[in-house]
Amino acid sequence: MIFTVAIDGPAAAGKGTISRAVADRFGFRHLDTGLLYRAVGVKGGDPATAARTLLPEDLTGTDLRTLAAGQAASQVAVIPEVRAALTEFQRRFARAEGGAVLDGRDIGTVICPEAEVKIYVTASPEVRAHRRWLEVGGEEAQVLHEVKDRDARDMGRADAPLRPAPDAVLLDTSTMTITEAVGRACALVEAALSARKRAGGHG
């Protein structure tokens, strides 16, 4: 079965946690596509070369979850050569047999516009900054500034800006518990799988 769940949204909205939970629930493979860009940013040197030579083990570094790595990812993500080098990898992962959940910023709009389920996970900048501050510490006001700066860069870039796909379901987690958000996402996937079975589709 080929079945893709595309989960997009800004930083610290909860899309990674939701994506992993959905993948576990349905037995799908999971790819945090942001790690690809974080790994390129952390690798240093020429970003396009780093993207073309990225290895699976490059995605396991403990330094990929830092605020600095996130900022580096956003900076290299605006480079067309980097995006091109990583796009094919993501598409192969998404459409391989067995089902896949990909979370990122342009999965439903650019990488997999044909995805069977598209969810755009969001929350207010203040809520997202507070969540990120709980993770990384520091000055909460500075974290809010960095979250807003990241949003502006991701939404304003010319190539694949962050935005919901026209047919994506909006999931605002500002006032949701993670259990509620995961439940809503799983219900959307369950409904799509049931519709496919009724239609007699096998992927």
Place of tokens 């304003």: 156
Q: What is the pLDDT of residue 115?
A: 97
Q: What is the pLDDT of residues 69-110, one digit of tens each?
A: 989 998 998 899 998 999 988 998 899 899 999 999 999 999
Query: Tell me, what's the pLDDT at 88?
Result: 83
Average pLDDT, rounded, for the chain? 92
Report the share of the chain in percent with pLDDT over 70. 99
pLDDT at res. 201: 59
- Cβ-Cβ contacts under 8 Å for 184 (sequence gap 6 or more): 171, 176
Is the pLDDT at 42 greater than 80, yes or no? yes
Interatomic CA distance for residues 8 and 10, integer angstroms: 7
Residues 39, 61 contacting (CB under 8 angstroms) = yes
pLDDT for res 203: 52
**Residue 176: phi, psi to the nearest 5?**
-95, 150
63-77, 97-111, 120-134, 138-152 — which is least confidently predicted?
Answer: 63-77
**How many whole angstroms separate alpha carbon 153 and alpha carbon 170?**
21
H or E segment to which residue 158 belongs? none
Return all residues near 48 (Cβ < 8 A) that are at least 6 apart.
79, 81, 82, 85
Q: Provide the pLDDT for residue 169.
A: 98
The whole-number average pLDDT for the span 35-51 is 93
Residues 172-184 have pLDDT tens digits of 999 999 999 999 9
- The mean pLDDT value for 13-20 works out to 95
Q: β-pairing, 117-122 with 169-172? A: parallel
- Residue 166: phi and psi, rounded to 5, are -55, -30
Check whether 202 has a pLDDT greater than 60: no
Residue of higher predicted confidence among 108 and 11: 108
Indicate whether 22 pLDDT > 90. yes
